[in-house]
Amino acid sequence: MTENTIIGARIAKARSDMGLSRRQVAAQIGVNDSTLEGWERGRVVPRANKLQTLCGVLNVSVAWLLEGGNAPFDRDAVDGDDMAKLTEKLRQALAMQRALGNLLEDVSVEIARLRGEKSHQGDLAA
């Protein structure tokens, strides 16, 4: 197993432990799902700026992600109050993501409906 594969397995484990999908994590760090999949499969390693953001989203230390060890979570850097605040922010972000998905679906349906009406109007004019 290569070092990249080991890091990728840690990324996948941390994401799974947080209960997040690839799509959710990718959106939070500003990359495509396929990029995150590449990291998890060990094809590539995240660049430094994305690595730091990824660790923040997954609540793991950079040291654990790169070197392993027993404690994936950076408990020294996050106290109970911080964890509660982060958990609430994550809950709010996921609710916003669901609401945005619903809104996008509604807009898509309305556009399809309007396009259908427009094509029928063209039929009447002929």
Would you give per-residue pLDDT tens digits along the chain (126 residues)? Answer: 677 688 899 999 999 998 999 999 999 999 999 999 999 998 988 888 888 899 999 988 888 888 876 556 544 555 566 667 777 777 788 888 888 889 999 999 999 999 987 765 555 554
End-to-end Cα separation, the chain, in angstroms: 67
The whole-model pTM stands at 0.55
Q: Are 22 and 37 in contact (CB under 8 A)?
A: yes
The pLDDT score that the predictor gives to residue 31 is: 94
Q: Are 59 and 86 in contact (CB under 8 A)?
A: yes
The pLDDT score that the predictor gives to residue 90 is: 78
The pLDDT score that the predictor gives to residue 110 is: 94
1-74: what CATH class? mainly alpha
Domain ranges of the chain: 1-74, 79-126
Q: Are 52 and 62 in contact (CB under 8 A)?
A: yes
